[in-house]
A and B are shown apart, each in its own frame.
Chain A
Amino acid sequence: MKYRVTHKTTYDGHETVSIGHNQAWLEFRSIDRQQVESFRLTIEPEPSIRTRRVDAFGNPVQVFSFNEGYQRLDVISTTIVTVRDSEFPRTATTTAWEEVAAALRRKDTPQDRDALEFAFPSHRITSSKAMKEYAIESFKPGRPVIEAVEELTRRIHADFVFDSRATTVNTPVQEVFRLRRGVCQDFAHLQIAMLRSLGIPARYISGYLRTIPPEGQPRLVGADASHAWLSVYCGNGAWLDVDPTNDTFCSTDHITLAWGRDYSDVPPLTGVFVGGGQHRLLVSVDVMPLP
């Protein structure tokens, strides 16, 4: 499946921003099932300096800053990418979930050691006893990891209500669990917290989702949004992507941008600025399938 993904962020300030430093996780990381044909990041006005680095999790980061003042800032990334369907990791269908955690403890493979980085609480994700109890119902002894994860994903989707007004970017995951409401980022955080509480590494994926318009209606340009889901470690270096917001395993509809321990490792665009007074931040995303 081939797409053109356009992610446009507009910062509209009331007064002039005098100085600004920014970081963007908008360049697709290269992974097996994705091939990036082209990537362009347009910044208006032209920043004083632009660099690129690779962060500690292997994601490319665009770094740019302004010495001249601006009142309006547009950051537009345009990417043409082909996404292949990935197979389910075979280990996931056969390995019991406890064995994943146990192998990790033994550090059987180098990949196990890498996965450990995603096995512990992180800045935005801490779990609780209640969350663990919720999760354990799906993790019956000896159950293959894929079955358990599939069921947990389904239960989260069933028990939690998508509500874009219930939470903000700063709502703690414990609060999401209590409210039983949230958005994709909250559900991803929640499921990650539950898996980690069982000793299974899980990472946060920032990306996009192809949206299919209702039958008979045209596709609306720019009506899409960033999306977030998670990736579960299944042992032997295999990771399985699941989307609790849509109760599904990830397919060619899911386009991966970057990953980290949680949202705070990979926000699409973040910055520190001086001045600007009141401001609005507008984001529009367009995921257009190409022939």
Chain B
Amino acid sequence: MATGLTPNLRTDRIFECPSFVYNEVYQVDGQPRPHWLKFLHALKTAAPSEFARRNGQADRMLRENGVNYHSATDSGEGARPWRLDLLPMLMTAADWSQIELGLSQRARLLNLLIADIYGPRTLIDDGTLPPEVLYANPEFLRPFCDIRRPDLSPMFFYAAELARSVDGQWWVMAYRAEAPAVPGFALENRIVSSRSMPSAFKQIQVERLAPFFARLQNSVRRRVPRPTDSPRIVLLSSGSAHPYYFEDVYLARYLGYTMVEGGDLAVRNDVVFMKTLSGLVQVDIVMARCAESGLDPLELGGYAAHGVPGLLNAMRAGNVTIANTPGCGIVGAPVFMAFLPQLCQRLLGEPLMMPSISTWWCGDPISFQHVVSRAADLVLKPAFQKSGGEELIIGEMSPEQREKTLARVRAEPYAWIAQEKVARSGIPVWSESGIRCGHAAVRAFLVEDENAWHLMPGGLIRVAPDTGPMQLSVAAGEGSKDLWVLADRKVDPVSLLTPRDLPAELRRTSALFPSRVADNLFWLGRSLDRCDFLSRLVRALADRLIGESNVDLTEIRFLARALSEMGQLEPGFVVDGMESQLPSLAEALPIAVYDPNEYGGLARTVKDLTRLASLVRDWISPDTWHRINVTAESFRASPVKEWHDLADVVSSTNSLIGDLASVSGLISDGMNRGPSWRFLELGRSIERAGATARMLISAELKRGPVSPALLKTMVEILDVRMTYRFRYRENLQRNAVLDLAITDDTNPRSLAYQIDRLVSHVDRLPGYEARPLRSEEMRLVMEAAHAVRMLTAEDLSASTPRNVLVALKTVDDSMTKLSDTLTNKYLVHSGVPRQFTDNSGGTP
């Protein structure tokens, strides 16, 4: 170590922390801890402004990657961005391996405990565990009693929450064996921080995370229930409404597993299948990232989105592995922490190496007395709640509250535990106003592979603003940090993104394309196009309503009619003699456009866009996802709610049309031409053809000659001004406009063009090749194609273009039917599962 630096580093302490907590950086004598020296030196070298800039960059990177712990919900709010402070927490490899020893022992112990709980329950017989701990525990789920595979330990992966007290001792605050959350957040933190860190830090040797994930993959693969070279592994997510949805997407992508929700899986003859566009594909391993109590509605009840009826029987039959084995979750209940020392002696014959935070079970009268006498120093918690739940801090209560709380505990003492409080250690936290002290909650992850447990060399640090108790949710606290485990040897500088020892698993996207995803992409395509079309109509109308002079009523009537057809305006505006309606229309339009509750309106469609995009985030490029988000964000943010007027509408729709074009560009340039693209395009073309046909119908061609102004509007909506002027100059003729709109297959906005594309998409739908006769959907597309293709030049120029109207009606109808047919055939493989129970308990 460069000793010359030391005095300097000591006098310029980067932060101060209270004396009653352990200072992670400085010793009691004020000297930096040796393992921080290199880092402190680098920190001094990097200019503060540089560090601030880099922190901002990291924030932006996280935002753009859509990292959050509440995916875009319906309201578009709820999503809270992930926050990362670039200053890491440092640990030496030696300290970390001590923790690994302790947590590995705990893992072995928990596995034996789980096996006994869902097996012979000898621990109750011999009194090591009081019966209430299981029998009064609502999380002790009887259907899990006979699903264990004897050749596998039930738990192979878990997470522990650690804190360091003032004497330097590490304590296990909690642990989780059910869908252990957040290694994905830790990984994302590492990737972002390694990209953003100023170069001064690059020479610090930090253990890489990639080998840990390779182990995880290895361990999962070893659990395959049948001999196969390429086991099919899915990651079962709780869905986009779940706070950790981002992490599900992230992990699935990183590990190369297909992400599914309950509805994507089906059990047939005790075998688990995934519903894909090309049929059912057998699944070998389900990595469950969801509450185990909802896994199988048949046996466990409930209607959880991730539930798969029959899943437990498939597991009993040995046809699928669920990892971790359902039932592991129970040991995460804090009540077990009160018994771990005894359990360790009894099950492993050795003392517990790493202590849990001192825990008393109120169901034991002596412990309860102790709890009452020390109540002010303790935290009361529900004994059986796995994810922490309520935390009652007696010391902060008024005497009445305190009595009330203790009465609650007395009524059901076995359902409560009390825990000591720990003042977490102090770490430097970056903020705009300088470095200050935060308190570290360390989340560590372990995986079992080849009969040994391995601790991830790194972890997630959550920062608590004070030393009080902190909830377990990753959302709690002020932000996060990366944990660097300093290597005592040279570490390969291999990037995490393409780890050398983690070859990409080759995927056949088409075979593993879930129907649900196809469904959502189809509707995403429809919404994209609807949004564009609607914007053009709205812009044209707003434009004409602003223009004081030369308002041609037929134009306005046409636009209002087209918009009311689409649900954006009340039909009441479209009446003969519209003149008197104009002021109210000018007032109503902006309100309708920005009202997200106006079904069929622009704001609603934009909202749908983000919702649908969030559901298929795993299947569209990050750039596309990002672009859609930005588009929706700027539309939402445009005018102040109460004050928008027609000018705002014009400017919003202008930028919306531009933004949507760049989304389209990303899709057409970048999206792989697989089934996901095809379903998106099907949606777009169906929407475009249908909307164009309906718009032309709204022009009321039957009413006689069409005014030049109206023709001009149609040309504008169809976005063919350039082509028109090029071909016909300013000579606006109805037949020429109709040709461009309907029959000209060189114009990408025409019906003929869109329908041609539909023919080619439908022709390539999965399972289409082998059919002897044309399918229903093909017949519908051909009906539309036929109607358009059979139109003659005379039909277009006839004074009452009856045949044109018939063709438009045919296109409109067949698009509606085509959408339904595709949905029924490919997209909705099943409805919502329901339950029935024979309730015949009624005899005298």
Contacts and interface: CB of A to CB of B under 8 A. Distances in A.
Contacts of A110: 125
Given A49-B269, A113-B131, A283 B840 contact: yes
A166 to B, nearest CB: 11
Contact of A274 (B142, B831, B844): B831
A252 interface: no
A78 interface: no
Interface in A186-215: 206, 209, 211
A162 interface: yes
B357 interface: no
B313 interface: yes
Contact of B842 (A65, A183, A264): A183
A246 interface: yes
Contact of A279 (B132, B830, B836): B836
Interface stretch (B204-212, B293-301, B525-533, B718-726): B293-301
Interface in A22-71: 22-23, 48-49, 51, 53-57, 63, 65, 67
A172 to B, nearest CB: 15
Contact of B841 (A18, A184, A275): A184
B837 A164 contact: no
Contact of B843 (A63, A117, A120, A211): A211
Contacts of A18: 830-831
B708 interface: no
**Residue in B132, B142, B838 with the greatest tally of chain A CB atoms within 10 Å:** B838
A11 interface: yes
B843 A9 contact: no
B750 to A, nearest CB: 41
Contacts of A286: none
A185 interface: yes
A120 B136 contact: yes
A169 B837 contact: yes
Interface in A58-96: 63, 65, 67
Interface string B137-161: 0100011011000000000000000
**Residue in A21, A265, A273 with the greatest tally of chain B CB atoms within 10 Å:** A21
A9 B298 contact: no
Given A209-B843, A225-B843, A57 B836 contact: no
B836 to A, nearest CB: 6
Contacts of B269: 48-49, 65, 67
A21 B835 CA distance: 10
A119 B138 CA distance: 13
Interface in B92-133: 124-125, 127, 131-132
Contacts of B563: none
Contacts of B66: none
A274 B833 contact: yes
A264 B313 CA distance: 19
A130 interface: no
Contact of A226 (B131, B267, B843): B843
B127 A107 contact: yes
B842 A271 contact: no
B834 A274 contact: yes
A245 B844 contact: yes
A289 interface: no
Contacts of A273: 833-836
B458 interface: no
Nearest to B843: A225
Contact of B301 (A54, A183, A264): A264
Nearest to A224: B843
Nearest to A228: B841
A162 B838 CA distance: 20
B838 A281 contact: yes
A130 B48 CA distance: 67
A136 interface: no
A265 B132 CA distance: 19
Contacts of B840: 225-226, 268, 283, 285
Contact of A227 (B301, B836, B841): B841
A212 to B, nearest CB: 11
A58 B18 CA distance: 59
A21 B131 contact: no
B268 A48 contact: yes
A222 interface: no
B841 A162 contact: no
A270 interface: yes
Contacts of B844: 162, 211, 245-246
Contacts of A224: 843
A103 to B, nearest CB: 13
B831 A169 contact: no
A15 B690 CA distance: 31
Interface in B687-705: none
Interface string A229-264: 000000000000000011000000000000000011
B32 interface: no
Contacts of A185: 841-842
A57 B309 contact: no
Contacts of B135: 116-117, 119-120
Contacts of A48: 268-269
B832 interface: yes
A57 B125 CA distance: 17
Interface in A149-169: 162, 164, 168-169
Contacts of A211: 843-844
B266 interface: yes
Nearest to B137: A120
A283 B125 CA distance: 42
A276 B841 contact: no
Interface in A91-130: 107, 110, 113, 116-117, 119-121, 123
Given A116-B135, A263-B841, A273-B833, A56 B266 contact: no
B298 A271 contact: yes
B839 interface: yes
Interface in B813-844: 830-844
Nearest to A273: B834
B830 A19 contact: yes
B310 interface: yes
B63 interface: no
Contacts of B837: 169, 267, 269-271
A174 to B, nearest CB: 15
B270 interface: yes
Contact of A272 (B127, B132, B136, B309): B309
Contact of B143 (A56, A209, A227): A56
Interface in A130-160: none
Contact of A270 (B131, B146, B833, B838): B838
Nearest to A120: B136
A21 B834 CA distance: 10
Given A117-B135, A169-B837, A227-B843, A272 B297 contact: yes
B316 interface: yes
B125 A113 contact: yes
Contacts of B266: 19
Contacts of B839: 168-169, 267
A185 B309 CA distance: 27
B842 A49 contact: no
**Residue in B146, B268, B842 with the greatest tally of chain A CB atoms within 10 Å:** B842
A9 B317 CA distance: 27
Contact of A265 (B142, B835, B838): B142
A123 B136 CA distance: 10
Contacts of B124: 113, 116
Given A206-B841, A245-B844, 5 more contacts: A22-B298, A121-B136, A123-B138, A270-B836, A285-B840
9 contacts: A48-B269, A65-B268, A117-B131, A120-B136, A123-B138, A168-B839, A226-B840, A265-B142, A273-B835
Interface of B: 124-125, 127, 131-132, 135-136, 138, 142-143, 145-146, 266-270, 297-299, 301, 309-310, 313, 316-317, 830-844
Nearest 8 pairs of A and B residues by beta carbon: A185-B841, A56-B142, A169-B839, A225-B843, A120-B136, A183-B842, A272-B309, A269-B838
